[in-house]
Each structure stands twice: as C-alpha cells, then as structure tokens.
Chains A and B, each alone.
Chain A
Amino acid sequence: MTKDERTASDSARPPAGEAPTGQGPPVLASLNAGSLGVAIGFAVAAAVMFTPFFAPPFLVLLGRSLFLAMVLLLAFVGVQRLPERFLPFGMPRWLATVLAVGIAAPLGTFVVYLLSVGGSVSAFVGNPARMTGFFIIAGTALVLGLVITLTAQLREREARARSQALEFELERSRLEKQAVDARLALLQAQVEPHFLFNTLANVQALVESNSPRAAPVLASLIAYLRAAMPRLHEGEPVLATELALVRAYLELMQMRMPDRLRFEIAVDPALERLRFPPMALLTLVENAVRHGIDPAEDGGRIEVGGVREAGADRLWVADSGVGMAATAEPGTGLANLRARLAGFYGPGAELRLAEQSASPPHGLRAEIVLPR
C-alpha cells in the first residue's frame, strides 16, 4: 500500500502472491528490442549458413529468413499477449505458444516459397529442388523456432519467480519498517500530558482533603507510570503486565469520573503468560475512554475480556459509549497497533472493530484475534 504502487500499468508486472507457474500475463514476452534482436540474429545466421547450398543469392535468402523469423516472432508474441479467455480449450499458455510456433514455421516457409514462384502452387510442387529447399528451411525454422520458444518460456518462468521473490522481499521490509515506526511512536508518546496533569489535579484534591482514597490512587498512578515508561531492555513482555497497566489506568479514570465510568476486566487466567506487545491493549482502552465514554454526558461501561479458544486467543475491549462516525478519521493509534501486532505475531494477527449495537450506532468493540 505504498504510494508508488498506485500507478497501474499494463507493462509487465505480475500480481503479488501468484504462483510462479500461474496464468497471468508474462513478464518478458513482448515485441521489444531484445526479442527482435534474437530473431534477426538467427535469421542472418541461417541465411549465411544456407547461402553455399542454395541457388538464390545471399540477399534473397536473407530476405526470406528474415520474413520467416518475423512470422515466428509474431506467432510467439501474439500467443504470449493473448488474454487468458482466448486460449483454446483452456490449454496452458506454454503449450499454445509451442503449437503456434510449430504451425507457423512450415506455414511461413510455404508462403515464402509461394511468393518466390509468383503464387503458383503447381510450379512450386512440381519442382523437386524447391521441395527439398522447402523441407530443409521449414525443418530448420521449426527446430530453431521451438528451441528459442522453449528457452524463452524457461527464462520467462525464472524472471517471474525473481520478480515475485523481489516483491515478497519488498513486502517483508515494508512490514518491518512499519513495526519499527510503530515502536518508535510508542517510545515517543508514552504518557499524555493532559492525562497526567488532570490525574495529578485529582490526586492533589484527595491529598488536600485528607481522603483515605489518596494512597490507593497514588499507587495506581505509580503502577501506571512505571508500566508506561519506555523500557528498552527487558524480558519478554506478557499479557499479565499489560493487564496490570490497563487496570491502573481504568482505576485512575474511574477516580476522575466516578459517576460516568464503570469497568470490568475478565481475562482467562490461561492467557496471563501470553507474549504480548506492551501498550497494545492500553491503546484500545484509552480509545474507549477518550472516544467512547468521555464524550458521553452519561458516560458508560468498559469491558476488557479475553478467552483462549481452540483456534485462537481473543482479547477485546468493549464500551457502551458514543460509537464512531463513519467519516471519523482513523487515528494513528489504531494503524500503529495493527503494525505492531503484525510485527509481533506475524500476518495472522487481526484487529477487528465492531459496533456494540447497530441501530442506533452505539458503543464500540475492538477485538484482537491471535491464531494459535
């Protein structure tokens, strides 16, 4: 999905992911300088080779062999560029090409001879010398044509495999870059100042009023900050750590809006040791608060859940907030999260967004699906 891929061209580029033996249009075959050069080269060589043995002068022979070479080249290119649906009997393209060249060689030679005798079939068939010449030339054209055709097909296949390998390589490095970018973005924007200062203002209020809640709230804030600080050197991150972070965050938000936020965290204990990219679940929970609960005057409820199923681990964050407009610009948070999941688990990992209720559109459910 990079920018440069937006230009569609009908020049030779195979669709990504196609099997090397696939049916798509060919990479190499086209009427270009290369194929023209090969055809002319062989035509000249044949004319030079045959001149000592044939009656007509070199230039005449060269004209004939060039004509023949062009006929074969056109047959080859023609079949190569033929749209899929015009291939007869659904035969593979290589077979159709070989057949076309095989038929064009004697037919082309016949036309050459017919022209040389002014179009009279009897004058041609009645002359044994001409018949011998015809068979020699047709035979040579057939053998050379088929050898060149098969070689070209082989090279075509190799080129296709190479171009595909290149494309896979490109895709892989693109994914890696995305993952690195996402990690970088994560390290840069850890704790939002608004969140921090608003939370501190609340803690200040509790401390000043000598509230017994001050100490546990401060503990939540410390737990949150510790988890949210960038850590470059650390052991394998697991879901249990992430859940502690999510709980600390939700407790802080609940202190700030006790009348508007309710939450529940219910995750299968079997998932606690699951390898998990730090801040991934928190991103979803923060989104639920910021875009779901906070804009709602009456607030709502956030449910964090997770189950281990036969085929996949599933984690979700569901809110009963205001939902999302179909034109809402997706923030960088979700794009980063997708990239991080892909970087961490490979392409099988999925982030799904769904509405809690369709009509009226209400609440959002974000689900991370990790195939096992």
Chain B
Amino acid sequence: MPKPAPPRALIADDEPLLRERLAGHLARLWPELQVVAQARNGREALALFDEFTPEVVFLDVHMPGINGVEAARGIGARAAIVFVTAFEQYAVQAFEQGAVDYLVKPFDEPRLAATVQRLRERLAAVPAPASPDLAPLLDRLAERLAGQLGAAAGAAQGPRHLQWIRASVGASVRLIPVDEVVFLRSDEKYTLVVWAGGEALIRKTIRELADELDPARFVQIHRSVIVALPFVAQVVRGANETADVHLRGRPEVLPVSRSFVHQFRQM
C-alpha cells in the first residue's frame, strides 16, 4: 500500500473574509492539510471538486445559485463534508448523526480543532468505512432550506398563483401586487388592469389571467371581466338573469353575464 498523500481540502463560501479565516485557522491546526481551492458559490464548488477531488470539503450552506446542501448532494460520499452555517437551527438536527460535521458561524478555534480531530480520524480509518447513506438526509435538508429561503427560491416550487402583475406604465414596468388589483377587463388585444393606484394595459388575456390568478380572490364575472372579491361592494340583480357588480370606493359598475351569475347565487 503506497504511503498516503497529504490530505487536500476545498473551501466554499460566498464571503471571502470567512474563506480566508477558515483557511488560516486550518493552516495552524492541521498543517499537512492543503487547501487546494476556494469556491465562491455552489456551482464553482462542484466544478473545483471535480477538478481536484479533495478528501475534505467545507461548504457554506447559504450560497447564491447552487447552495451548500445542493452542492453536498452533488459530491455525495466522495469526500468528508463539513457544513459551515449561520442557520444553526436545522444543521444541528441534521448532523447529530456524526456522519459529517458542522460549524456554526461565528466559530472559535477550539470548535474548529474538534472538527479537525474528527476529520483526521475519518481519513485515518483505511479503507474508509462505508458512509451512511446521506441522500435522504440531504433531500430533507434541501427541502427545509428551500422552505426557509422560500421567497428567494420562489419559482422553484411548482405552479403557484400570480402575486404580481407586470404592466408598462410610462417607461417602466411596474409590478402591481395582486392584492391591490380591483378588476381586469379585456380591451381588444390587451387587458386593462385597474388597481388602487391607477390603471394600465397588459398583454395577457383574460383567459390566461383567469387561470393564473388565485380563484379564492379573483372571480370571472363576464367573458371579458375579472373582479377581485374584496373590492365588491354589492351585486345588484338585473333583468334576464344578469347582474351588476358595484365596487367599493369606485364608480365603475361591472356587468355579470348570465353564464357567470350563478357564482353569486349562494351568497
């Protein structure tokens, strides 16, 4: 058996001062360890891992693009992974198993020394013991992370209702919160959006909007009209199975056509 080469490490963190600090402490605590690469995000971490195949990887959990947990899934059991995170609430839970270690930022040198000790033991055990299967654990962790960063990772979670309507107002594209939209009415090729702060034409059709808007809030009352229920003041029945919708604090009266009038029946 050949003499083992000195262990090598990869550090991934989007904050450069923290990469440097970790590298500095590692150099003091574990002089044989070579930090062969530093990555600024998950994508870089995966690329550099494939290039250098280090035995040890320090991953910041919160990184732009591909986050630390996703990167860890890409690396799998090919290296000993240590998470570095300020999100201690779930990291603690996930890594109690001792399969990999975690560091909560800001950490001190004695804490890092314990991590180094653990890593040395792990690498010394030759051949490496079969790593427990981390995949399900990492999947769970990734889910929780996505939940926490929900707002940032928004689009990733399947079809959701429209929350913002893009509309050109003058030279800019305004984002109108759907909570403020009073009604939408088709106007030839375009759709007129009327909200508390003004009105604008958008290119989406009433049909598309009816599919994308939250049905608990928006109701189509006419082939060409969608109204937001919280802005409905009253519905006045008219002749011939039709009705008129009067709005709260607005002069417009919207028509309810016969095929949509049933929606107000049970109210």
Contact = CB atoms under 8 A, between A and B. Distances in A.
Interface of A: 1-2, 5-11, 13-17, 24-25, 83, 193-194, 197-198, 200-202, 204-206, 208-209, 255-260, 290-291, 294-297, 299, 324-331, 334-335, 350, 352-355, 358, 361, 364-365
A201 B106 contact: yes
Interface string B238-266: 11000111111110000000000000100
Given A8-B233, A197-B104, A256-B15, 9 more contacts: A25-B234, A194-B87, A205-B17, A205-B21, A257-B14, A296-B64, A327-B163, A354-B175, A361-B166
Interface in B145-179: 150-155, 159-166, 168-169, 172-177, 179
A23 B243 CA distance: 17
25 contacts: A8-B234, A8-B264, A14-B233, A15-B246, A15-B249, A16-B248, A25-B234, A83-B239, A204-B106, A209-B24, A259-B16, A290-B151, A291-B152, A295-B64, A295-B65, A297-B41, A299-B64, A329-B150, A329-B160, A352-B197, A354-B175, A355-B166, A355-B172, A355-B175, A361-B166
B223 interface: no
Nearest to B217: A6
Q: What's the dominant secondary structure at chain A's contact region?
A: loop
Q: What's the dominant secondary structure at chain B's contact region?
A: mixed
Nearest to B14: A257
B185 interface: no
A98 to B, nearest CB: 23
Interface of B: 14-18, 20-21, 24, 40-41, 43, 62, 64-65, 86-87, 104-107, 150-155, 159-166, 168-169, 172-177, 179, 197, 229-239, 243-250, 264, 267
Given A8-B229, A205-B20, A353 B86 contact: no
B174 A325 contact: no
Contacts of A197: 86, 104-106
Contacts of A328: 151, 154-155, 163-164
Contacts of B267: 7-9
B154 A327 contact: yes
B143 to A, nearest CB: 17
Given A260-B14, A327-B160, A358-B173, A10 B235 contact: yes
Contacts of B86: 193-194, 197-198, 201
A325 B173 CA distance: 14
Contacts of B247: 15
Nearest to B227: A8
Contacts of B166: 326, 355, 358, 361
Contacts of B248: 5, 15-17
A259 B172 contact: no
Contacts of A361: 166, 173
A61 B105 CA distance: 96
A51 B245 CA distance: 50
Contact of B172 (A10, A291, A354): A354
A6 B229 contact: yes
A202 B175 contact: no
A331 B179 contact: no
A334 B230 CA distance: 20
A56 to B, nearest CB: 41
A267 B98 CA distance: 52
Contact of B197 (A5, A6, A350): A350
Contacts of B159: 327
Nearest to A347: B196
Contact of A259 (B40, B151, B152, B233): B40
Nearest to B150: A329
A1 B235 contact: no
Given A256-B17, A259-B16, A294-B64, A83 B165 contact: no
B191 to A, nearest CB: 15
A303 to B, nearest CB: 15
A83 B267 CA distance: 20
Contacts of B24: 208-209
A330 B172 contact: no
Nearest to A206: B17
B230 A294 contact: no
B175 A16 contact: no
B21 A325 contact: no
Nearest to A2: B230
A300 to B, nearest CB: 11
Nearest to A213: B17
A209 B20 contact: yes
A194 B62 CA distance: 10
The 8 nearest A-B residue pairs measured at CB: A201-B106, A17-B249, A205-B21, A15-B233, A328-B154, A353-B175, A325-B155, A327-B160
